Every structure is written in structure tokens, then in C-alpha cells.
Structure 1
């Protein structure tokens, strides 16, 4: 009996040791999952970006050293966007999170606040001089600036620099790689800025009036010499009424505007009501084309890149107003 008791005791100690080691391994694995750094299976930095424009920067500057996931695809309105459980998982699993800021992703603010305690959560707009930002007269909930900074290519170059510097800080070993890729991209963006200026200058000065569904193109108009009018405010959550429609209709008629534009991420219903109103007054207005405002085109297309999106918008506007 004593021998059996000793054997049972040894077995119990062995089992308890196995259980202890298993729990310890699970604890270490859980702790490791919370740390920032290269957590993807192939050693790349994992990045989650809110909009396609930001994801594009991260992919271009990060190259084959990063794995980038964008939350908001083609046709998605970031002003109204609510993160799904799947999105929260992508954000939680990322090493770095990039977002626009300036309240573009207003419904995601609390999520960012929680996650920034454990990892870099970076607004790409953070280094832009406030004097270069436009105010939003219809702002609510603390949103005081126009968030559509990507429509001024020079302002967007600041966003590229923020992404570059963050990658260099988080992956110092590859700092030169990120620096080189960012330098090449900034050169391309400088050329894009020049292209936009040259092309818009081809439109007769009196015809340089850009009318869209919502007021997303303020920075674009200021940078490249266009008067910009939107039926809705800077935020698509802004409501518009019959007075707004009639005032814009009268402006089109009085100024002989021949073309207005719809947006890929905003319903065309509002702008179509303006066109119909002008028609009843004997003035024909056509839709000059679809512009990309708060989202880029489909992945794999030219318009699915920031440079391609801007060129598409410029070419569409020039073709319609020239």
C-alpha cells in the first residue's frame, strides 16, 4: 500500500508540473501578443489604416517591409463609418494604426483612445500647420477644421512624412529603406502637384467653378484656382433643405454653369435635384463626371491609388469645364 501511495503521489506531482508549464506558456504567448513590433508571420510590420488614401501611403513607403490593411474601401463615406467587430480586430492586431484625424473618422474616436495606450495610433494630419487648415463653419462635436487635406497635394506630402517618420521610429533597422522610398514618392507627388496646376489652368478663368454634392474640395480649389460650391457641408452628416437646393440652382442659372459633378462615396440624388431645378428654369446642366472624394477607386485600378485618383479628378474636371 505504501508503495502504491508513493506512486500515486509521484503521478500527481508530474501532472501538476505539466499543468503549471502549460499555463506559463499560455501566459507568455498572451503577453507577447500585446507587444508592438513585427508580429506578422513573415516579420513585417502590420499596419491598419482607416482610409484608402492613407493605406496607399503606408504601402508605398513601407514597401515589402510592411503588411497593410485598409478599413474603408471604394465608395465608403468615412464621415458616417462605424467600425465593425472585424475592424476592431484588425486595429487591435496591428503594430501601427494610421488615421486621418481632424474628425474625419469621428465615430472611431473612442476606439483610437483605447488602442493608443498600447501601440502607435497616429493621425497623419498632426504636423500640418494649423494656419493652412480650413475652418468648418458647420462643425459639431469639436470638429473645427475641414478634414479633406488630401485634395491639396502639398498638404498630403506632410502626411507622407508622418508615415515615414513613424515607420523609421518603429523599425529603426530599416530606416534608410523607408527614407529612400518616401523620398521617391515625395518627388512623384511634387510632379503631381505641378500637373494639377498646369491642367486646371487650361480651363477658362470664368469657368473655373466646381459644383459637387458636398463641400469636400475646398483645399483643392484653393490650391489649384477653382471656386468650389457644395450642396452639403464639409461633413456628409450635414443636412440640406429646399432652400439650399434653390440657392445652388439659381447660382447655376445666373452664372451659366454648364456642368456639375457627382461623387463616388456620396449619393447623387441631391445634385440631381439641383439639375432638375435648373432645367425647369430653362438652363441645361449636365453631370460632368464622377469624382473620387472621400474614397479612392477599386483596388488594382489606376484610380485605386492616390496619384491615379487625383489625376482622374483633374482630368474629369478639365474635360467638363474646358
Structure 2
């Protein structure tokens, strides 16, 4: 009898322990699964922040109030195009600014503006614009008149902006390097874009301003001394129906400004084979880079600025695929 009681007691303890261990194991598995789901959700979260973001005075525009809007276009998971525009029907625009911003973290993008880092933070249909360092806030006053700045808070607009009031400037940017500045502006005329580049700081001011027209839109503009001669070049990236192009200008010994020739893709069969747009351009030190998708791969083209008989031109230095 004592033996039977001992066996029954032993079996009861083993059953209880097994049940408890299984319960703990299942609970741990569920917790691990929940953590994994949370991590996956966080890592793949990439909300589209495209839209128009407005200041509070936009709702009072019928009463004559001035207002500023930020137009955001998400071009990929990792970058956005930002346009700051304001009311322009009754007076000159308060703020005009364009930049490309790159993803820093979920809902936060950054851009380099006059050597300062500017942050664009999106949350709950709100946008906040500020400099990463508070001491750099003065950099954002440069693009507005009357002591204004485009830093601050904006709310996402449900609908379209009032096109009868907004500034019609298609693109605007100011860049400086080596004591030479470029005031870049573009407007739409007759279905084309008219690009005007005013250089300031030139010794003799020859060839200034430069005006050119093309089909498509300005995507971005960058400045660099591409041939390391102590006088900078301006490179403007454009897009027409998904196909990119380059419009560039060089300053000669800081005296004058001339156009720079960029060879179209169609001129080089090694580049054009399988080409169907989707270009991305960038300046990496003194090299102009172009890349685009081709047959499941990416084709990358490198260009260097060279002196030619008729002026300066970009020449292909390398073509690769990966």
C-alpha cells in the first residue's frame, strides 16, 4: 500500500511539473513570436509622406493673410523632394526653397542646406522643419523675406492647394562654392521648363545669366569644382517622362559662365542598350555618376569633366553593371 501511494504521488508531481514546463515554453514561444512581429513591422514601416503641408494662416487666405506651404513628393523609400512655396498673388513670395531630403529614420528626413543639416519630421499628419543644431537656425532665414523663416510646424492639407494664390516658381535654389554663387530658378512656359541661372561673385560677369529651355522638370542641382581648377561648376539634374538628363555650367577662372556639354544616352551604344529610364544622378567628389536599371541589373556610368575644342564637356570614363 505504501508503495502504491508513493507511485501515485510521484506521478502526480511529474504531471504537474510537465504541465507547468509546457505552459512556460508555450508562453515563451508566443512572446518571441510577438517580438519578432513587432520588429518586422518596425523595420518595414515606410509610410508615404507625400502631400501639401500648410501653416495655420492658410485657412484665413480669403481675408488676405499670408501663408506658406511645403509640397512633399516621396520619390522612393529613402528620399523625398521638398518645395517650400508661399502666397504670391498680392505680393512677392515670402519663402521659396527646393531641396532633396534623405531618410534618417522612420518619419525623419534630412537635407544639407548651406552646410547645415535640416530635419523634416513627419508624424500624425504634421510636419516640423528645424535645423539639427539650434545654433544653425539662421541658415533658414536666407530663403525667406522680411525676417521670416520656413522652419516651424505645418499641417497636412486634405485636398489641393489654392492654385490662384500659390507661387508658380517650378524650382528655386541657391548654391555657393569657392566664393561663387548660383541663383537657380525655373518656370513653366508653353509646356516646357525655362531654367535661368544667375551667377554672382564673377570678376567680369561674362555669359551671365544663362537661360535654357527643355521638356521635363528640374529634380535637383549641385555645385562642385569638377576639374579642380579653382572655379566651380553647377550641375542641374532633370527628368522627362522618367528619363534623366544633365544641364551644366562652368565658370572660367571665375570670370565668365559657359554651358557644359553632356552627351545623351543615345550617343553611346554601350550605355543605351536596354536603357528605359529610371536614372539617378549624383556628384561624388569630381565624378558625375549615373545609374539606371537594365534587365534586372543596375548599369552605372561615370563621367569626368574635360576641356574640348568648343569648351568643356563630360566624357564617359567607366561603365559597369552589378
Length-normalised TM-score, structure 1: 0.31
- Bigger Rg, structure 1 or 2: 2
Give the structure with the larger strand fraction.
2
Higher helix content, 1 or 2: 1
- TM-score norm. by structure 2 comes to 0.31
Q: With CA pairs under 8 Å and 6+ residues apart, which has the higher RCO, 1 or 2?
A: 1
